[in-house]
Amino acid sequence: MSPNEASTSLIMIFGATGDLAKRKLYPSLYHLFRKGKLAKQFAIIGTARSPWTHEQFRENVKDSVLTSIGTNDQIDDFVSHFYYQPHDVTDTNSYIKLRELAAELDSKYSLNGNRIFYLAMAPEFFGTIADHLKADGLTDTLGFKRLVIEKPFGHDLESAESLNAQIRKSFAEEEIYRIDHYLGKAMVQNIEVIRFANAFFEPLWNNRYISNIQITSSEKLGVEERARYYEKSGALRDMVQNHMLQMVALLAMEPPIRLTTDEIRSEKVKVFRALRPIEGEEVDEYFVRGQYGQGTINADEVVSYRDELNVNPQSNTETFVAGKVMIDNFRWAGVPFYIRTGKRMTTKSTKIVIQFKDIPMNLYNRNEQLNPNLLVIHIQPEEGITLHLNAKKSGQNMQTNPVKLNFSNDGTNGINTPEAYEKLLYDCLQGDATNFTHWDEVALSWRFVDKISEVWEHQTQSQFPNYSAGTMGPKEAEQLVQKDGYFWWNITDLDVENC
């Protein structure tokens, strides 16, 4: 086995005919295969109810690779490892056939009994599948067994606890890989490195030097075909409970004593434990929700959320959330972490802006305010870092001028940055769970979010829609930051190409 090569394994994909498998999993597996990162010996079983044959499955995998990557070099060799089993996840007989196919492939490819079960299916099936995998003998194997679970992991703490209790009957915590695909993104993984590998950031990374941190994850898209799911979820559960709070944890955690899964997770968990609970009347003070009305995106008129397909015309589901998150510990006391996420906003972008405190006195432009120093981490679609500084204006005077130092991660390694799913699949094959969420993180983040959704569920929301499609959300989101003396940095101004 080459040093980069992942463990030999049988990967079973539940939901193999679905959107996620097609758009993300097959192209990512193909990338790993082409880079020599999959073991020579591997096999993949796809399952779903559609009555496909192995051949039909392979043709579909070929199609999805070609559509997504535009090339299909060595594709026949790649797809020869794919097998299909028509399977209803609620039916015991299906699992027995699956067990037989797994045993056959295990011996054909010498897979040492290593198994990864990837649940790319609707969440209501997660528990049932885990139960069957154990009861019908699929987890009874000599090698490792790992369960990969897509989001959402529950829809509140109670449902997450019951799902967790159910899957823990079949898998130990260290065998469960809960996906938060933001943790697979190159620049999210870079947060730790920027902080802990640079002498000049870490000493300033605290409430003495940082005034506030802003995390924005905006989408231009509306709810698209996801209305049935989204109506029950909304932006708070869909984005804040997982991706946004995970970014907060990475920005706020203490340096781990070692870069091991346990040490990193334990530091993140401490951040979740230090989140100031926001409950009751405080919710309106700290959090703002919004729902898009009609508006203009890319010069096209788009309908309001309530007019989207499969959305209740009186829906109170939020498509936007802005919040002020406080971390009550020694390092962060008094520093607001502002988070903002929504659909149908001006631009598609995920960025983190770290705003440093003003210097005590401006020697240069006495009547003006100096621009604050900013560190901007561009997560997507651009990947990079920008540092905003003040330098001398050219000429005789001693006036200052804002300058920006840019690093763009796109293409710097000579290859496109691997997609999040490619990294996460590889990590799972290697048995590295660092970039997956531990149960404690999931539970604590639900505890935080539940207190907010409980209040919102009991309030009549008469203001919706309260922002037009194509804008950065309701005016209350601006006020949330302004009342602390700040403003949201304009995301498009901060783009790498505008720097």
Under the binding rule (CB under 6 A), the answer on residue 68 touching ligand NAP is: no
| CA distance linking residue 410 with residue 462, whole number of Å | 44
Exactly one of 1, 4, 19, 399 binds ligand NAP (CB under 6 A); which one? 19
CB atoms under 10 Å from CB of 429, counted, come to: 24
Under the binding rule (CB under 6 A), the answer on residue 150 touching ligand NAP is: yes
CB atoms under 10 Å from CB of 465, counted, come to: 21
| Residue 466: C-alpha distances to residues 45, 321, 427 (Å) | 47, 12, 42
Can you give the C-alpha Rg of the chain in angstroms?
24
Under the binding rule (CB under 6 A), the answer on residue 344 touching ligand NAP is: no
Catalytic residue among 132, 155, 243, 378: 243
Stretch touching ligand NAP by CB under 6 A, among 88-96, 404-412, 420-428, 482-490:
88-96
Near ligand NAP in 118-147, by CB under 6 A: 120-123
Q: What is the DSSP string of 124-148?
A: GGHHHHHHHHHHTTTT--SS-EEEE
| Residue 79: C-alpha distances to residues 65, 74, 83, 123 (Å) | 10, 9, 9, 28
Q: How far is the CB of 152 from ligand NAP (least distance, A)?
A: 6
Residues 6+ apart with CB under 8 A from 366: none
Q: What is the DSSP string of 418-450?
A: PPHHHHHHHHHHHT--TTSB-HHHHHHHHHHHH
Instruction: Verify whether residue 243 is a known catalytic residue.
Output: yes
Under the binding rule (CB under 6 A), the answer on residue 67 touching ligand NAP is: no
- Are 275 and 449 in contact by the 8 Å Cβ rule? The answer is no
Stretch touching ligand NAP by CB under 6 A, among 85-93, 139-147, 294-302, 474-482:
85-93
Beta bridge partners of 210: 356
Cβ-based nearer residue to ligand NAP, 16 or 43: 16
- Are 297 and 468 in contact by the 8 Å Cβ rule? The answer is no
| CA distance linking residue 242 with residue 151, whole number of Å | 9
Cβ-based nearer residue to ligand NAP, 122 or 403: 122
Under the binding rule (CB under 6 A), the answer on residue 113 touching ligand NAP is: no
Under the binding rule (CB under 6 A), the answer on residue 18 touching ligand NAP is: yes
Q: How far is the CB of 451 from ligand NAP (least distance, A)?
A: 24
Stretch touching ligand NAP by CB under 6 A, among 115-123, 353-361, 375-383, 477-485:
115-123
CB atoms under 10 Å from CB of 396, counted, come to: 6
Exactly one of 48, 245, 385, 477 binds ligand NAP (CB under 6 A); which one? 48
Residues near ligand NAP (CB under 6 A), total: 20
Cβ-based nearer residue to ligand NAP, 89 or 444: 89
Cβ-based nearer residue to ligand NAP, 87 or 145: 87
Contact residues toward ligand NAP (CB under 6 A) are: 15-20, 23, 48-50, 87-90, 120-123, 150-151
Residues designated as active site: 243
